[in-house]
Structure 1
């Protein structure tokens, strides 16, 4: 890694992590590999003071931020990558093995803003709604064992392995401005898209296609640039204006 300051382009987001020791292990791994931005999504206060496994990582824990939802936690990120053990789940995203994912992050994020790595709860991983915020997923290849349906790592171990892969094989460069849409912009466009579908009556005719997570995945797959967002927002607002009867007689 030529420029350690570019590690600030990476944030680790823990979604519904409940074990303070696991959170501490994550903070320690982040400290050891030079990452410092930890975000926790939970519906209750996380007892950071009990994360005893965070040896020498107090700065990471002190700087950790808590959020009520994934959308808020990744709002300033231009690339959101989820983690999964795959198993038998029907996934609606491209999935890359960790080594390939590390190279892909390097290519997509060179001078392109901030990347969020999402890790789900220790027991259930990321939900479909949480996954809908992701552009694509990564998985850590593991040895299959007889009698174990879905092998998976401890949360702290998984974070450590992923961060090591980034440090080992990815060069983050900060020599260009960001031109990819942030997750916050994607979320605002998703909300406007949903509003347009409701106003045009599409949601009544095709309710199976209008789940919020489905709409978000559709917008994410568009791969929008920052300059695209105001154009699409303007188009959708014009549709709403017309549908609501304010554009009658307009050319």
Structure 2
């Protein structure tokens, strides 16, 4: 099963063009030709089914037979904010894996102890888009870059529950199904961790801390562990979760 991405797909679309990078994959790598079936998403919940009517090395046009609107997944109101890392490969690895597991927004976070430097959000968008397609999702996570205090202000204004991974946490958190239905912000600090002032700031806005391992974890490992903890809680009380593959039948 192959899923392709195009921003052109709309609910009333009858035909659409693939972007240049997707054209290369369809025409030059997979060597798909006229008449072959193809499945598309716009990353905003739409799933299009159609067939190729034009296939050249520079252009692929799809005639659509059906466009479906899929519901937002239960984790779409989940944001993961992670301290910036020095190693960009590790950041891209986390972006890929977090997307595959399921997330609504990934925020790369400037903190007092995080690495300084530029983050190529366009490259991150590419990683997230590829992971969305690979995991057969129709909702693409947003990718942002923001400072710690701006993130805290936004979480407070948006009435998000905040869960921070912290090595000195003593309180256990029982994320019930009702709690996972709330807009949630997961926080993971950089390699040096959060400063005491940042931890205090999280507590002041109603955030809670969670000890996710007895071992010392790398930032990207901690982020994925916390994310998976949330997902296990999210689906623990759901006896009939969305059957993603039903949309591809």
TM-score of the pair, normalised by structure 2: 0.49
Higher strand share: 2
Higher helix share: 1
